[in-house]
Structure 1
Amino acid sequence: MDEKAGLDAIAQVVRMIGDDKSVRSVGFDYSDPGTIIITAGEIGERLESLTALKSDGFKIIVRKGPRIEEQVGNVASTTPVNPMVVDGEKTVDVMGGDAVTSSRAPTYYGTVSLIGAVRIVVQGERQYDLLSLDGIVSNNHVIAQNDTGVRGDVLSHKGRKFGSLMDAVPMTDLKVRCDVALGEVDVDHLGARKPPAVTVSRYRLRGLGDITGVRAPVAEEKVMKSGATSGVTEGTIVGRATVFMPGRTFPETYKTSGGFTKGGDSGALIVGSDMRAIGIHAWGDVAVENGPPPASYFAGFINDDAEFDFSGELVLRF
């Protein structure tokens, strides 16, 4: 079964499940694409009955699985950025991979995907087109607090303001398959007015370097990310899944190998070995005592493979 057929099979099973609130994900692993896996907190008769179905070349299995949650972190547990020293003063240089906190929820943090001239294009109930010539990209649940944020909410790193919320793709649009929002760098809060001074590095990921382009993910490829909690890690895309969150389902996400992310890494930009951006991390399995390292999930871009020359907008399409 090819990937498109697998995604169609997932969609068909999701329709069969209906409004069963115990379901946490429906997906397949690339190692066994003919098997659709339903993970749930509780397995009732209705879910169990689905295992008897077999059509269109796939079979269904149901198993208990961990809860999936947005991977935000607690501000008290962040690791301070190693400051640069410029003319004897400490300077905080913010870039992709660093922690970001919204004034709407100051006790929690996520990760800056990237900073730069960015256009985000998303198809949902309608098309969303978000543009900032000096943008800050992250998850909606990180910098727009699941649609409760308002334009102008302060975005800060280690207590230092460096931007504000601009716009978000609404979580109320159930056809949207991503969790994304856009802030804007606030130049009035950059520079050396009061140490530690704040600067920003555009199109750069901490510990990884500059982004070279944008493209769609590839099955079973090796991937990297720089996250506010776990820093630079490597993993593998191991499957596809529809992820169930309270009030929302996110179809066609990419599942990555266990241990790739931790709480606080929400918003981290996922890149391939070619340093092309392929998606934005948002969700992860909750760790289970004595269980395997928890898997994580990201929304992938649908861009054609393209290099980026830093002279124009970086367009991210979902």
Structure 2
Amino acid sequence: MTEEQAALKAFEMLSQQSVGQIATSFHYDYDKPGVITILFLSAQELDSAKGSVANSIEIDDIAIRHRFELVLRTGPRIDPALGRLDEIDAEAAMSFPTEGGDVARIEGSNFFGTVGIAVSRIRLEAATRAGTRYVCEGDRAFLSNNHVIADYDRAAIGTALRAGTGTSILGSFFPMRDILLHFDFALGINLSQGSFIGGTIRGLGSVSQVIRNPAANGESIRKVGARTGLSSGRTVGRTSIRSSGYQEQQRWFNGVYKTTQGFGRGGDSGSIVVSDSMDILGLYSWSDREEEAPFPTNFGYFFTLGPDQYPIGDGPSVAIEYGSPSDKST
């Protein structure tokens, strides 16, 4: 077991204990080997967790006791990266036909995220350790976050969406109510003819046919978000985060990749994260809460679409037919 894999296993054990009820996130940073950082919103919560963390070290296995130093400190809340329509000229940001990087939202909602990528066909399949299997698939579909276009499981299949100028509906999503499923994915279906360009990200071009995990030692990454546009950064670690899940109830999401500061902001959720060679690495989903002044870190977080989600080999199976980037699919 590598150190990164051991850290992910330690995250799981800690989140299941009492410390997991008040911590906001566990971090393993590539530039701090042998250290797990546990973040709390306040000094009071940090103090109340000290005993639980000490007990975890005593009773849990070698992954924590012999491999890691546990550092406790306060830090920002991690929230889904949702924007509001009054923050940008959202209507101007949407153009015809739809491409990755355009605004995505539920019709009539004031909150928006991003179209990750529009494709001719996509199928995502994932299974929990309990054996429950989920499938999201669709033709003429676009990928985004559940919290963007399915409203934390609250939206019904067939709900009207806005993604570009064409007519779209919610096609399927991975349910957040299953806490063993560590994904925030949903698919919208383009109903209008000629409504998207397959396999492209606005301002970046065509993605490659490769879907993989980022390099473990930090990798150069890029994305185009509906709020911030093109941004670049690198991966700086893996983390487990406590954030909004089913109907916005708090839950843990494990094995998430952490980005350098300033990679994304509210409104960028759903952006496809790519490598310098345009390999698909994941789906941007969260950022540190920006208005919490003591913690202006603004790190970003994304799910990998590769096979190694959490802790080992627990990622989704993804099959994509992109369609011709030059063809307005009909």
Query: TM-score by structure 1 length?
Result: 0.84
| TM superposition shift of 1:138 | 0.5
Aligned to 2:315: none
Q: Tell me what 1:98 maps to.
A: 102
RMSD, aligned CA: 2.6
8 Å CA contact retained: 2:19, 2:49: no
Provide the rounded CA distance (Å) in 1 between the counterparts of 2:321 and 2:80: 33
| Other-structure match for 2:74 | 64
- Contact persistence 2:220–2:235 (CA under 8 A): yes
Task: State yes or no: 1:4 paired with 2:5.
Answer: yes
The one-letter code sitting in structure 1 at the alignment partner of 2:230 is V
In 2: Cα distance, 1:83 partner to 1:107 partner: 15
Contact 2:262 2:299 in 1 (8 A): yes
Task: Give the corresponding residue for 1:234.
Answer: 232
C-alpha distance in structure 1 between counterparts of 2:167 and 2:196, whole Å: 8
C-alpha distance in 1, partners of 2:269/2:93?
Answer: 23
Shift of residue 16 of structure 1? 3.4
Letter in 1 for 2:104: V
Deviations, residues 200-238 of structure 1 (Å, cap 9, x unaligned) = 111100111111021112120010001000001001100
Q: Give the conservation status (yes or no) of the 8 Å contact 1:155–1:161.
A: no
**Residues 15 and 252 in structure 2, CA contact (< 8 A), matched pair in contact too:** no
CA shift, 1:303, in A, is: 4.0
Deviates more, 1:72-81 or 1:176-185: 72-81
* Change beyond 3 A, Cα 1:138–1:289: same
Return the offset for 1:14: 2.0
How far does residue 307 in structure 1 lie from its aligned partner after superposition? 11
Check the 8 A contact 2:136/2:187 in 1, yes or no: yes
The residue number in structure 2 matching 1:201 is 197
Letter in 2 for 1:39: L
Residue 15 of structure 1: CA displacement?
A: 2.8
How many positions carry a matched residue from both structures? 294
Relative to 1, partners in 2 of residues 1:163 and 1:56: Cα closer, same or farther, differing over 3 Å? Answer: same
**Identity across the alignment (%):** 29
Question: Residue 137 in 1 paired to residue 168 in 2?
Answer: no
* Mapping of residues 23-62 of structure 1, within 5 Å: 23-42=23-42, 43-49=45-51, 52=54, 53=57, 55-62=65-72
> Which has more helix, going by share of residues?
2
Distance 1:230 1:33, change over 3 A: same
Partner amino acid for 1:73? G
Q: 1:148 aligns with which of 145, 150, 154?
A: 154
Kept after mapping to 1: 8 A contact 2:150/2:173: yes
Aligned to 2:275: 272
Residue 27 of structure 1 deviates from its aligned partner by 1.6
User: In structure 1, what is the equivalent of residue 133 of structure 2?
Assistant: 127
What's the offset of the Cα at 1:33? 2.7
CA distance in 1, matches of 2:278, 2:161: 26
1:9 and 1:169 map into 2 onto residues whose CA distance is 25
Gaps of 5+ in 1: 85-90, 192-198, 313-318
Listed as ranges, the gaps of 5+ residues in structure 2 are 58-63, 244-248, 309-317, 325-330
Measured in 2, the distance between the counterparts of 1:119 and 1:101 equals 21
Structure with the bigger percentage of strand: 1
The letter for the 1-side match of 2:80 is: E
Match of 2:222 in 1: 224
Q: Distance in 1 between matches of 2:301 and 2:18?
A: 21
1:180 corresponds, among 182, 185, 188, to 185
Contact 1:115–1:203 (8 Å) recurs in 2: yes
The answer to whether the 8 Å contact 1:100/1:112 transfers is yes
1:14 partnered with 2:15: yes
Report the Cα offset of residue 129 of structure 1: 1.5
Is the aligned partner of 1:295 residue 2:299?
Answer: yes
Whether the 8 Å contact between 1:216 and 1:278 is mirrored in structure 2 is yes
Using the alignment, how far apart are the partners of 2:93 and 2:49 within structure 1?
52
Distance in 2 (CA, whole Å) between partners of 1:76 and 1:46 is: 40
Q: Name the counterpart of 1:118.
A: 122
Q: Deviations over 1:269-316 (max 9, x none)?
A: 111111011111111111243754410111112249x9988469xxxx
Cα shift at 1:83? 8.4
